[in-house]
């Protein structure tokens, strides 16, 4: 599961944009939560672009925008058979840049948040995007794909967002490729070394938009696998 994350305007994030040919910057945003506008990279007309989208996918066939169903994450294992996600999987894939994402563990009777972040770099999270409506009424929305936790990650949560390595990002974005042929990219893996750091529980409030305060050294670190 991935229900909160941060994206920081730093050399790592800018390097991701440069790698994908995007001449823009991402403004730093902390504690991004479902239904908020988030920065997304997609490809249209053979050009990658950076666009804000609603983080909660709205299927194009929905009668109205709805939050009754949890559409901010999409399970990799069921993408191909999902009524909401199988269509976007084919040709509407995207990347969500993330400097860290947040998970929780229940410890001593309370939910303790942890920031999962690269030791060096930025996450390129695999996602899908969709358009609901047309013209001025159109809403662009996205979802983050999750998979079973890679070895070691289950210490913090049994699932994780799919993190794309640098050599597969362009392929994931290419809409000329049917996404059903890209399912092996969604297997559990860690393309970079990461650390899991305890942070102040004030982040539990989605309205808190300041940088997370660390509460000590990393709980653990994991090497790329």
> What are 199's strand-pairing partners?
214
Beta bridge partners of 194: 118, 222
Could you say which of 2, 94, 142, 192 is catalytic? Answer: 2
Sequence-distant (6+) residues with CB within 8 A of 10 are 99, 122
Mark whether 2 is an active-site residue.
yes
How far out from the chain centre does Cα 31 lie? 13
Looking at residue 149, what DSSP letter applies? P
What whole-number distance in Å separates Cα of residue 173 and Cα of residue 185?
12
Q: Is 103 a catalytic residue?
A: yes
- Phi, psi at 11, each rounded to 5°: -60, -30
Catalytic one of 103, 130, 142, 192: 103
Largest CA distance in the chain: 52
Under 8 Å between Cβ of 186 and 76: yes
Report, as residue numbers or ranges, the catalytic residues. Answer: 2, 103
């Amino acid at each position: 599961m991935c229900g909160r994350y941060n994206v920081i305007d730093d050399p790592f994030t800018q390097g991701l944009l440069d790698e994908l040919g995007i001449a823009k910057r991402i403004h730093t945003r902390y504690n991004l939560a479902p239904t908020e506008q988030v920065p997304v990279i997609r490809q249209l007309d053979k050009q990658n672009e950076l666009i804000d989208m609603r983080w909660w996918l709205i299927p194009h066939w929905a009668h109205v925008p709805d939050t009754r169903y949890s559409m901010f994450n999409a399970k990799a294992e069921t993408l191909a058979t999902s009524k909401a996600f199988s269509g976007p999987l084919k040709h509407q894939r995207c990347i969500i840049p993330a400097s860290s994402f947040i998970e929780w563990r229940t410890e001593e009777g309370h939910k303790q948040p942890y920031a999962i972040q690269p030791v060096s770099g930025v996450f390129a999270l695999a996602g899908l995007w969709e358009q609901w409506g047309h013209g001025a009424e159109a809403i662009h929305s996205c979802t983050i794909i999750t998979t079973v936790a890679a070895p070691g990650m289950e210490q913090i949560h049994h699932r994780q967002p799919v993190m794309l390595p640098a050599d597969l990002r362009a392929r994931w974005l290419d809409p000329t490729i049917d996404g059903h042929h890209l399912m092996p990219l969604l297997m559990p893996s860690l393309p970079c070394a990461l650390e899991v750091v305890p942070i102040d529980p004030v982040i539990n409030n989605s309205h808190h938009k300041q940088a997370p305060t660390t509460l000590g050294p990393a709980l653990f670190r994991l090497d790329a696998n």
